[in-house]
Structure 1
């Protein structure tokens, strides 16, 4: 998968993860892109380890599912970090 396709996958996966998670997560499109790309990397790594998924194809359903799962994990971790930081201030 090319670099721009991977960025697009991360952006869309991050946006879908934000829609799935309840509550209000901070950040705009740039934060969504960054968290989505990190989540897509994490999801690809987890998918490769658990289910032997190859994240080389943009239109692969497995790529999208694991990218969204990874983005959800990253958003949950991000939520814990930002909630702890805002509650201590």
Structure 2
């Protein structure tokens, strides 16, 4: 169950970051990948800042913020 939960959070947060960044998602697999990487980045940053919280909504927001940051850095590198 934990792995499916992890994928669900990744898919939702990747989709949300895609909506914010470019107005569309990246497809199911792309959303999951962006969301999982974003979750790692967002979780690391939240931990360093001492920002804690619980619940699925908080996890999605942290992962989406990390995914957005990932997309921002990628866009800087592409330019």
Same fold? TM cut 0.5: yes
SS of 2:7's equivalent in the other structure is helix
Q: Which has the larger helix fraction?
A: 2
The runs of 5 or more residues in structure 1 that have no matched partner are: 85-89
CA RMSD of aligned residues (A): 2.6
Aligned pair in 2 of structure 1 residues 52, 23: CA closer, same or farther (>3 Å)?
A: closer
Aligned residues: 79
Between the aligned partners of 2:52 and 2:37, the Cα distance in structure 1 is 17
Question: Which structure would you say has the larger Rg?
Answer: 1
- The answer (yes or no) to whether the contact 1:44–1:53 under 8 Å persists in 2 is no
TM-aligned CA deviation for residue 78 of structure 1:
2.8
Structure 2 counterpart of 1:75 = 71
Between the aligned partners of 2:22 and 2:34, the Cα distance in structure 1 is 17
Spell out, residue by residue over 1:45-84, the C-alpha distance to the aligned partner (whole angstroms, 9 max, x if none): 1111112426xx5x34332221111010112223334x44
